[in-house]
Amino acid sequence: MGFFTKLFGKNTDKLCAPMAGRAVSIDKVPDPTFAEGMLGNGIAIEPTEGKVYAPCDATVDMMFTTGHAVSLVADFGAEILIHVGLETVSLEGKPFTVHVANGDKVKKGQLLIEVDLDAVKAAGLPVITPMVICNTDDFPTFNVSVDEDVTNENVVIELAK
């Protein structure tokens, strides 16, 4: 029995970090849409590597044509948005390589997107990458792990209905 099951008396669903880097609180994102939770609660990664992985088993709901963001629906129902950097849609897909398409079933750890972080930085854009749960209200138990170095093996969000 896991810690959260003992504490809350219910099983939790887990999301791992979508990128290697430093997990930080969503309010550290220098964009009010994310920092103020307008799209939902979550975390952000200050990435050290330009690979975005599936945080859990899910279905690709929308792979943005520019490759700067992806929305997933977790097998347990969470609606997840991973937005690589800020204002990166303006790069028109140039530093991004997409590895999945709309409707694809993905497994935790599967490569979704590759990004040239140096190209994003050279364009003067932040590389901080928010991961938000757009249907946060469906999960009354919502716990995050931040202020630590993470990879796709580390759980950063635990949810329960």
User: Is there a contact between 12 and 158 (Cβ–Cβ < 8 Å)?
Assistant: yes
Buried b (16+ CB within 10 A) or exposed e, 66-86: bbbbbbbbbebebbbbbbbbb
Catalytic residue among 14, 22, 68, 83: 83
Q: Is the dihedral of CA 96, 37, 14, 28 positive or negative?
A: positive
User: Is there a contact between 18 and 85 (Cβ–Cβ < 8 Å)?
Assistant: no
Let me know how many helices (H) and strands (E) the chain has, helices first.
Answer: 3, 14
Q: What is the Cα–Cα distance from 138 to 81, expressed in whole angstroms?
A: 15
Does the active-site annotation cover 99? no
Task: Please list the active-site residues.
Answer: 83
